[in-house]
Amino acid sequence: MVPRISVDSRFRQALVIGCWLAIVGVAIMSGTAVAHSTGNHQSTHTATEAADGRIVELYPNPTTPQNHGEFVTVDIDKAGNWTLSDGEGTARLPDGIGEFAITRHPDKTATHTNATVVETSANLQLAVGGERLELRRDGQLVDRVSYEDAPESQRWHRDHESHWLPNGFQPREPATINSTPVEAFVLPDSPDAPLAAIEGADQRLYLAAYTLTSQRVVDELIAAHERGTTVRVLVEGGPVGGMSTQQADRLNRLTEAGVDVQVMTGEQARFRYHHPKYAVVDDRAVVLTENWKPSGTGGRENRGWGVTVDSPKTADELAAVFTHDATWNDTVSWSKFRSTAETTEVEAATGSYSQNQPPMTATADAVTVLTAPDNADEELIQLINSTDDRLLIVQPSIGDREFRLLRAALRAADRGVDVRILLGSRWYNEEENKALASTLRERTGQSETLTVRLAAGNGRFGKIHAKGIVADDTAVVGSINWNENSVDNNREVALAIEDAEVADYYAAVFDGDWSGGGADDLPVGILVVAIGVAGGVVLVLNRRLTFAEKR
């Protein structure tokens, strides 16, 4: 994860932003030294077997003068004569058990950790350019951690893997809920489905958005607030291309009505983009591939997937994600944020499409909440690795041939799984999708188990914007694009729905788009969809980043 970039530096940063995108995870094996990298930041750790204590967190590079507030957290399971050393200073730990944050500046540290803060007078200082720390009991080495080039305002955190994580970010495990009623739908076929999903809230209505311009959605949020419902909105502060004046008007209206609207922004933001599209409505939740705007949930252009889940546990899990994301110091109220905005031009969508695939309801065997950067990539790779018969993938584009989810899909094709990949064919992704298809052709030759197609809507939709998977009897619906930035740097949310009926529903949509679009299997031929342009205005914010997705 990387700092957000100001608009003044966007052109220079565009030349180097690509080298920030990769975060490579390496599994940790008990009792051996293991490397983990975040960009160019390396760390290793060694733990003895059956250790009674370990180093669990480092914060070497806070954004304070002289790095005041840096700390090391240790987890002690057995009381004893414990010490922590960096080779220059040695700190003695309390004679007790629990998690202790060892620091020279307890007043600065306490706001960054829930561990018991322990002040030390030892010359224990964490060098930004690299350090090695050793945890000992009665003089015997129990754990060792070393790192190189600590990223600013990030914490090294150790659980089942070691990570450099933004300060304020707490990873979540995937949450699975069994026997769950769901409604599956697609866009632009069913634009009333997302609205119906958020209607009638009595207790809570939380809406997470990359962009929000739908007047119908804003009306429902205000109506819920006026009924006494707790309504909260969280949006991305600097979407690609800027925030439209239409969105500013919508957020102004929400704020004036008394709705709590927060914006994720700033150089120390935990995510490159706040990119999810979901809502929590009392005891149900809706998760989408589409933005809350006319081209998405309004059914004016995009092919998208969505699902509503009638499940208190699923709703509570997403509410916890929302609260985590909306209540740290990288979010500010819209009323404070809007004064930083300027205006410029943007396109608008005005298409109209028929309903080819109505919604369907089922009781899913299981629904799993996936989030990025927490857990989604690992879970999706496991899902793909376990696929036996069919693997259908729809994406606007795929980052590159070496993207790890794509590599997993290629392995599935190698073992005989029918793998089909449906990509977009608009002006901004046609060439890269052609190039990817050509690369896959060279890799697979005349393989009959892997085919790639660029979709043309042919009256069914305007462009591919869905990010979906059908893997045997499991369907995945959410905001996760197949590129390193999405899974490693963005906040993303998806649901994995394990149910044959639901999987067949999305497979039928996929098949219709595959065969009804009119494009040949690549690389034999491509049919490109024409695009239309309309007018509008945009807010240019204080930063710009690499392209995550178009409208």
DSSP per-residue codes, 257-281: TT-EEEEE-STT-SSS-B---EEEE
Give yes or no: residues 419 and 295 share one domain: no
Cis peptide upstream of residue 373 (ω within 30 degrees of 0): yes
Q: What is the pLDDT of residues 382-401, one digit of tens each?
A: 999 999 999 999 999 999 88
Which pTM value belongs to this model?
Answer: 0.79
- If you average pLDDT over every residue of the chain, what do you get? 84
Same domain? For 222 and 146 the reply is no
Which residue has tokens 């509570």? 316
Q: Are residues 273 and 418 in the same domain?
A: no
pLDDT for residue 39 is more than 90: no
464 and 423 Cβ atoms separated by less than 8 Å? yes
H helix runs in 150-240, sequence order: 192-198, 215-226
Q: What is the DSSP letter of 373?
A: T
The domain boundary, picked from 350, 382, 406, lies at: 350
Q: What is the pLDDT of residue 61?
A: 86
Q: Name the DSSP letter for residue 330.
A: T
Same domain, 55 and 151: yes
Query: What's the confidence (pLDDT) of residue 64?
Result: 80
Over 80: is that where the pLDDT of 535 sits?
Answer: no
Residue 535 located in a structural domain: no
246: domain CATH number is: 3.30.870.10
Indicate the pLDDT class of residue 150, thresholds 50, 70 and 90: confident
If residue 57 lies in a helix (H) or strand (E), which one and from where to where? strand 53-59
**Structural domains counted in the chain:** 3
**pLDDT score, position 21:** 32
- CB 314 within 8 Å of CB 369: yes
Asked if the structure places residue 418 within a domain, the reply is yes
Identify whether 52 is part of a domain.
Answer: yes
Cα separation of 357 and 363, whole Å? 19
From 88-97, 212-221, 254-263, 516-525, the region with the lowest mean pLDDT: 516-525
- Tell me the per-residue pLDDT of 456-469, one tens digit each, with 9 for 90 and over: 878 899 999 999 99
The pLDDT value recorded for residue 486 is: 96
Return d(Cα 498, Cα 471) in angstroms, integer: 9
Residues 325 and 398 in one domain: no
Rounded mean pLDDT of 148-161?
81
Whether residues 138 and 246 share a domain: the answer is no
d(CA 338, CA 356): 40
On the 0-12 / 13-18 / 19+ scale of CB atoms within 10 A, 338 is: middle
Confidence of residue 541 (pLDDT cuts 50, 70, 90): very low
Q: Pull the structure tokens for residue 363.
A: 């009781």
Mean pLDDT of 126-145: 93
What does the pLDDT average to over 12-32?
32
Q: Does position 1 have pLDDT exceeding 60, yes or no?
A: no
**Distant-in-sequence, close-in-space partners of 101: CB < 8 Å, separation ≥ 6:** 57, 71, 72, 73, 109, 113, 115, 116, 117, 118
Q: Is the pLDDT higher at 139 or at 158?
A: 139
Residues 339, 334: Cα–Cα separation, whole Å:
9
User: What mean pLDDT is predicted for residues 52-62?
Assistant: 91
For residue 358, the SS3 value is coil
Mean pLDDT of 101-111: 87
Average pLDDT over residues 40-51: 57
For residue 356, being part of any structural domain is answered with no
Structural domain that includes position 127: 7-166
Residue 479 — left, alpha, or beta (φ > 0 → left; ψ -120 to 50 → alpha)?
A: alpha
Domain membership flag for residue 299? yes
Looking at the domain assignment, is residue 361 inside a domain?
Answer: no
> 36-45, 155-164, 275-284, 317-326: lowest mean pLDDT where?
36-45
The highest-confidence range among 3-7, 33-37, 181-185, by mean pLDDT, is: 181-185
Domain finish residue from 111, 136, 166? 166
Please check whether residues 150 and 200 belong to one and the same domain. no
Is residue 548 within 8 A of residue 17, CB to CB? The reply is no
Residue 391 in tokens = 């693997």
CB 491 within 8 A of CB 273: yes
Check residue 413 and report its DSSP letter. Answer: H
User: Does a structural domain hold residue 90?
Assistant: yes
CB atoms within 10 A of CB 141: 13
Residue type, 359: P
pLDDT tens for 399-425 read: 988 999 999 999 999 999 999 999 999
State the first-to-last Cα distance of the chain, in angstroms, to the nearest integer.
23
- Cα torsion at 291, 397, 517, 468 (round to 10°)? -60
Report the largest interatomic distance among the alpha carbons of the chain, rounded to a whole angstrom.
74
What value does the mean pLDDT take over residues 163-192? Answer: 93
**Mean pLDDT value across residues 123-135:** 90
- Last residue of a domain, which of 143, 166, 189? 166
Higher pLDDT, 42 or 229: 229
pLDDT score recorded for residue 530: 27
Q: Is residue 374 part of a domain?
A: yes
Residues 159 and 180 grouped into a single domain? no
CATH number, position 121: 2.60.40
Q: Is 361 helix (H, G, I), strand (E, B) or coil?
A: strand
Residue % of the chain over a pLDDT of 70: 83
Same-domain check for residues 378 and 332? no
> Taking 70 as the threshold, does the pLDDT of residue 142 lie above it?
yes
Beta bridge partners of 493: 371
For helices 404-414 and 430-444, give the axis angle rounded to 10 degrees: 40
- Cβ atoms of 171 and 159 within 8 Å: the answer is yes
* DSSP 8-state symbol, 248: H
Tally Cβ neighbours within 10 Å of residue 542.
18
48 versus 56: the higher-pLDDT residue is: 56
Domain shared by 154 and 204, yes or no: no
Residues 153, 180 within the same domain: no
- Four-CA torsion 145, 484, 112, 260, nearest 10 degrees: -170
| Claim to verify: residue 156 and residue 227 sit in the same structural domain | no
Residue 128 reports pLDDT greater than 80: yes
